[in-house]
Amino acid sequence: MSELNIGKYFTTGEFAKLCNVKKQTLIHYDEIGLLTPDIKNEMGYRYYSYQQFEVFSVISLLKEFNMPLKEIKWFLTNRSPIGLIELFKEKSLELEKKIKNLHRMQKIIETKISLTEKALCIDDSQITLRPEEEEWLYLSGSILNSSDAEFLKATSDFLDFCHENEFYSGFPIGAMISKEKIIGGDHDNYSFLYTKGIAAADPLAFHAKPKGLYVVAYHKGSYEHISETYEKIIRFMEHENLNIKSFAYEEYILDEVSVKGYENYLTEIKVEVEGKRAIV
């Protein structure tokens, strides 16, 4: 082999630098027959062609999919255009799923940031009356008048279903309480659990939280004392000449993820109302 020809090839060190790996990695790949240098002279020196950079890139790509070196070697040993197309189509689908999952994770993080920033700016001592836009909620099965065991089972099933179908997007799991239970003071007797959706893809599965006027209040502390906040809401409604229209919607906006201890929890309560006062 002439010096001129060798000059067209990379030494092991040069090729390792090009590939951003240690020389030992290339030596190991050679030893296991995964990536053999184009030239290995009588002195044992290895030389790599620039075309082999593409092979190394494919090896690195497949490793990112946690494909074992033994399987990568089998693919390269038996490579063909059809084989490449089939393998890369499979990996493309895997990558698409990973990207989708990463976007979902980013959405969860962004939602948590937004909700927590909002919570820090709230005056939780105030009760307000404000218009709300329509929201789509995915509901659990009915949990009205359920026993403790039935409630836990329904909650577990609902959370499992939400995660399996990737409904969870960072919003807290909320609870709906009927007009009758609010008036009767039975504030822990929920009708449904819910999580916020993005569209009514299945009208049988989604509930539209109506556009309309809502009394909005915040409960600071343990849920054991939430009746006190509902009493304040009722007094506010009486003063404003309002009636409960349908449901109250409860959501934690500060919970165990962001604060320590039930006494620091913050629950947002929205009660749909109607009355003489017009929507502003």
The pTM assigned to this predicted structure is 0.73
Q: Residue 108's CB: how many other CB atoms inside 10 A?
A: 14
As a whole number, mean pLDDT of residues 141-157 equals: 92
Task: Assign 279 a pLDDT band (cuts: 50, 70, 90).
Answer: very low
Lowest mean pLDDT, pick from 10-19, 157-166, 248-257: 157-166
Say if residue 276's pLDDT is above 80: no
Q: What is the pLDDT of residue 4?
A: 45
As a whole number, mean pLDDT of residues 199-223 equals: 81
User: Residue for token digits 């060190």?
Assistant: 13
Say if residue 197's pLDDT is above 70: no
Classify 192 in phi/psi space as left (phi over 0), alpha (psi -120 to 50) or beta.
beta
Task: Assign 208 a pLDDT band (cuts: 50, 70, 90).
Answer: confident
Lowest mean pLDDT, pick from 133-137, 162-166, 223-227: 162-166
- Choose among 248, 211, 195, 196: nearest CA to 132: 211
* Mean pLDDT over each residue of the chain, to the nearest integer: 89
Say if residue 1's pLDDT is above 50: no
Q: In the chain, what are the domains?
A: 3-79 (1.10.1660.10), 122-275 (3.20.80.10)
Cα–Cα distances in Å, from 223 out to 11, 20, 106, 125, 189? 69, 56, 30, 16, 12
In tens, the pLDDT along 109-142 reads 998 999 899 899 999 999 999 999 999 898 898 9
Say if residue 269's pLDDT is above 50: yes
